[in-house]
Amino acid sequence: METATKDTKSKDYQQQKKGHPSGDKRFKQLDITMKRNQYRQDSLIEVLHKAQSVFGYLESDVLMYIARGLKLPLSRVYGVATFYHIFSLKPNGAHTCVVCMGTACYVKGGGEVIKALEKELDIKVGETTADDQISLMAARCLGACGIAPAVVFDGSVAGKQTPEVVMEKIKGWQE
């Protein structure tokens, strides 16, 4: 039976084990990377790299999750993330579209989706449209391979995407 006497360490471990409260499976991948590094604080850069590849950019929720996992002050995590220009904290666009380019998604058509988006939006992956409306990013495996190809629209993961379906969504944003 659970008691209220558990120490903080064990509470943190339990929270980490449960993943992110949103249930977003991408956080599981961060857990795996942190665990592989035995939650060592000097693995921060590697974990940030993983986070950027999974999420496309480092939103504050992700930085907080990493800070808690590695037991580092949030200011330190922010400091490192802002120091290196390879990390991007925020896409510039009002909307974000992150296309998974992991193997399962690529094989199931993620590459076609990204090509169609680049053409329609007239930008490359990592860029934002001239009107600052849409940022296009790529990620490596969102942990949703069962519904490949997956695309994240403004933080919501959508599965079995085709260029047509994605275009509809984007058009909705452009109206």
Annotated binding site for [2Fe-2S] cluster: 100, 105, 141, 145
**Considering the complex, what minimum distance in angstroms separates the CB of residue 132 from ligand FES?**
27
Looking up tokens 């993943």, which residue turns up?
19
> Which is nearer to ligand FES, 70 or 141 (by Cβ)?
141
> Which is nearer to ligand FES, 94 or 147 (by Cβ)?
147
CA proximity to 166, closest of 112, 124, 104: 112
**Considering the complex, what minimum distance in angstroms separates the CB of residue 133 from ligand FES?**
25
What are the start-end ranges of the H helices in 57-105? 60-70, 74-83, 103-105
Residues that bind ligand FES in the complex, under the rule CB under 6 A: 100, 102-105, 141-145, 148, 150
The C-alpha atoms of residue 152 and residue 139 are separated, in whole angstroms, by 9
In angstroms and rounded to an integer, the radius of gyration of the C-alpha atoms of the chain is 17
Chain residue whose CB lies nearest ligand FES: 102
CB 135 within 8 A of CB 95: yes
> Which is nearer to ligand FES, 91 or 110 (by Cβ)?
110
**Considering the complex, what minimum distance in angstroms separates the CB of residue 7 from ligand FES?**
36
Give the annotated binding-site residues: 100, 105, 141, 145
